[in-house]
Structure formats: C-alpha cells, structure tokens
Structure 1
Amino acid sequence: MTTVTSHTVEYPADGLTMVGHLALPAGTGRRPAVLVGPEGPGLNDFQRRRADALAELGYVVLAFDINGGRWFTDPQEMLAHVMPLLADPDRMRSIGHAALDVLRAQPRTDPDRIAAVGYGTGGAIALELGRDGVDLRAIATVNATTTGRPGEAARIRCPVWAGVGSEDPIMPPAQREAFTAEMQAAGVDWRLVVYGGAVHAFHHPSVEGAVLPGVGHHPLHAQRAWRDVVDLLAECLPLTK
C-alpha cells in the first residue's frame, strides 16, 4: 500500500462554495486522474475513502461536492435540491466542469488522462461531462442510468460502464433500456451490469438520514461493483503508459 496524502479543497460552483476531497498518491510525478462524484445526499466519508483507495492504486483523485459542503439528512430536503439539478443538464455540466478544472490544475495530474466515476447524482454529472464532449478516458456510473438530451451522447469519446441493481425502483428496467438505447444509437462503447437482487444505492453502506424507499445496501454486490470500476480504470486509464 502506498502513502496517500489527502486534503480538503474549496472551489466555487453552482452558486455555492464546494468542499471537495483531493487524494494524492505517493511520489512526485504526474499521474492519471479520476473524478469521483457522490450521490444526492452529498459528499461523505464513504466517498472520501473511495478516493483514498484509488489514490493508493496510484491515481490523483478528486471526490467532488454537489451540495456546498452539506450532507442532507432529510430525504425531502435532499430531493428538493437534487431533482431540479438532475433536470438541468447545463447545471450538472457546470458542477462537473468546475471540479474538473480543480483536478486538472493539480500539478500531479496528467491532464490528458482523466476518468470520471460517479454514484447516483454524481454519475449523472459524469455522463453529462461525456455528453458535453469532455476528453475523458472512461466514465463509470453506479445507480445512474440517466439519459440526456437527444443526440448529445454522440459526443461521448470514451467507454461507458454502468452498474445498477435489478430491483432498483429509481432506475427501473424502462430507464435502463432508454439509457442503453441512447448509448447504442450514439455508437458509444458501453457496458451495463445488472446486479441481481440489489436496489438503489446498493453500493453504499447504510447511513442515518436521507434514506428513501427502494434504497438499501448489498455488501456482496457493492464489492463486485467496486472491482468492476477498478477493472475499467485499469483497462482505460492504465497507471503505466
């Protein structure tokens, strides 16, 4: 295990002061980099640990913020904030671009080798960066088989991997089918993994607050999805050129 250095970074986006988590691998040279986007309630220690784990592998990682440093504990308050955001691709892109600018500005980041990994709302933001034509090496989303504006998926320039629970009521089969049809029509190199028996946010350990019906942890599939994400990065963003 390599030594990881991490610290908080503040930056403006969406009219808020975002509070991200930057994790740097050991060494001094430039490394491939990964954006990590959180689910709707916000950025918490779970995603910070995910960033640190990727940094241990050798990536420069920014776990970005979407709520101005807040973790929503009230489900209705969280939905009131997140649903308008999910309905506004331009807002999602602005949040993603602000985080991407912070990551690119890090001296350790190789700006030509960046991937985006997102969970829930963070996954939707990662996909919108792809639909905006950002030069990413890979996009991975968990619980975010969201579709975009007609035709814009053709701008995606990298492989897309998506993971979703078979029993997810928030991303149901019809939504998954619309997402895969969008990717296929755009000629994207896409993959979808459906984890049997899992519901929404199956990747995330149970937490207090902001829990909705149809949300629950599935420890085994959570481990499998993490391995799938790491494998995608190893394929598309190798640590050695």
Structure 2
Amino acid sequence: MTTVTARTVEYAADGLTMIGHLALPAGAGRRPAVLVGPEGMGLGDVERRRAEALAGLGYVALAFDLHGGRYLGDPEEMLARCLPLLADPERMRGIGHAALDVLRAEPRTDPDRIAAVGYGTGGVIALELGRDGAGLRAIGTVNGLATGRPGETARIRCPVWAGVGSEDPIMPPAQRDAFTAEMQAAGVDWRLTVYGGALHAFHHPPVDHATVPGVGHHPGHARRAWRDVLDLLSECVPVAE
C-alpha cells in the first residue's frame, strides 16, 4: 500500500453543494481512477475509508455525495429523498456526472481509465452513468440492481459486476432476474454474485441508528464482496498497465 492523501471537494449537483471525499495515491503521475457511490444514507466514513483503501492500492478515488453533505440516519428521511431520486434517471445521472467530472478534472486521474463502483443507491447511479454512455472501464454495483429505461442499457460498453445477498428482501429474486435479463438482452459483459444467507447492505458495518427492514451485516461476505470489487478493478483498470 502506498501513502495516501485525502481531502474534501465541493461541487454542485441536484441543486445542492455536494461534499465528496477525494483520495490520492503517492506519486505524481496519472493513475486509473474509481468513482465510489454510497448507500442511500449518503457519504459516510465507510465510503471514505473505501476511497482511501483504493488510493492505497494506487487508484485515484472519489467517494461522492448524495445529500449535500448530509448523512441521513433517519430511515424515513432517507427514503423520502432516495425513492424519488431512484425513480428519476436524469437526476441520478446528474449526480453521477457531476462527481465524474470532478474525478476527471483531477490532474492525477487518467481520464481514459475510470471505473464506477457503488452500493445501493450509489450502485444504481453507477449503472445509470453506464446507461447514459459514460466512458467507464468497469461498473460494479452491490445491492443496487435496478433496471433501466428500454434500450438504454445497450449503451453500457464495459464489464458490469453485481453482488447481492440471497436473502435481500429489497432486491428479491424477481428483481435479480429482471436485471440479468436486461443485461443479457443488451449484450453487456455481465456477472452476478449471489452471497448465500446475506441481507441487504450486508457489506456495510453495523450502524448506531435505525435502518430499513431487511438490512444486516455479514462480515464474511463483506470481505468477499470487497475482494470481488478489487478483482473487477484489477481486470479492467489495473494500476500497472
């Protein structure tokens, strides 16, 4: 792991001033980059640590914001903001592109080697960037398997990896099937990993506030999902090329 520097970055999106977390690896040259999207609660320490872990492996990493610098620990408040957002592809794409523009503008970023990895709402935003034709090298989404508008998934020109818990009531088998059918019909290079016995947001450490039903941490699968993310990045945007 290399020495990491990190800082906050402010940018406008969705009518808000977003506050992202940018992590840079040691050195001065350009590196591949990763956009990191958070769960519906918003950007928190978990995503900041993930960005820094990726920077430690040699990536430029930006954990992007969803709620204008706020972390929504109240499930009702989170759903009141996220459900309309998830129903509006243009808003999601606006949030994603604003963060992607910040990442591309960073001098350390190799603009031709960028991946997007998101969790929950952040994962759906990563997919929507792909459906909007963003020039990504890879898309990873954990428990964010939303389908898109007809015909737009064919715009995804990079591998897609998705992970989901087998017992996730928010992403039930019917939704998984619809997602994989959409990917297959569009000719996307896709993979789905189902983690046996895991609930929604199984990757996220326990929190000290209420959550929506069906959420639960699974330490073993959380480690496996992180390794799967790193395998995707190693394949599609290797640090040494």
Shorter-chain TM-score category?
over 0.9
* Distance in 1 (alpha carbons) for counterparts of 2:34 and 2:181: 27
The yes-or-no answer on 1:32 pairing with 2:15 is no
* Distance in 2 (alpha carbons) for counterparts of 1:210 and 1:140: 27
Taking structure 2 as the reference length, the TM-score comes to 0.99
Report the equivalent of 1:90. Answer: 90
Aligned residues: 241
The yes-or-no answer on 1:10 pairing with 2:10 is yes
Does the aligned pair in 2 maintain the 1:36–1:64 contact within 8 Å?
A: yes
Question: Deviation of residue 210 (structure 1)?
Answer: 4.6
Report the equivalent of 1:130. Answer: 130
Runs of 4+ in 1 over 3 A off after TM superposition: none
Report the equivalent of 2:202. Answer: 202
Question: Deviation of residue 75 (structure 1)?
Answer: 0.5
Q: CA RMSD in A?
A: 0.6
Taking structure 1 as the reference length, the TM-score comes to 0.99
Does the aligned pair in 2 maintain the 1:137–1:237 contact within 8 Å?
A: yes
Report the equivalent of 1:102. Answer: 102
Query: Identity of paired residues, percent?
Result: 80
* Distance in 2 (alpha carbons) for counterparts of 1:20 and 1:144: 20
* Distance in 1 (alpha carbons) for counterparts of 2:210 and 2:13: 23
Question: Deviation of residue 137 (structure 1)?
Answer: 0.3
CA offsets per residue over residues 156-188 of structure 1, 9 Å max, x none?
010000000000000000000000000000000
Which secondary structure does the structure 2 equivalent of 1:187 belong to? coil
Measured at CA, do residues 138 and 152 of structure 1 come closer, stay the same or move farther in structure 2, by a change above 3 Å? Answer: same
**Which runs of 5 or more structure 1 residues have no equivalent in the other structure?**
none
* Distance in 2 (alpha carbons) for counterparts of 1:210 and 1:232: 32
CA offsets per residue over residues 78-125 of structure 1, 9 Å max, x none?
000000000000000000000000000000000000000000000000
* Distance in 1 (alpha carbons) for counterparts of 2:98 and 2:211: 28
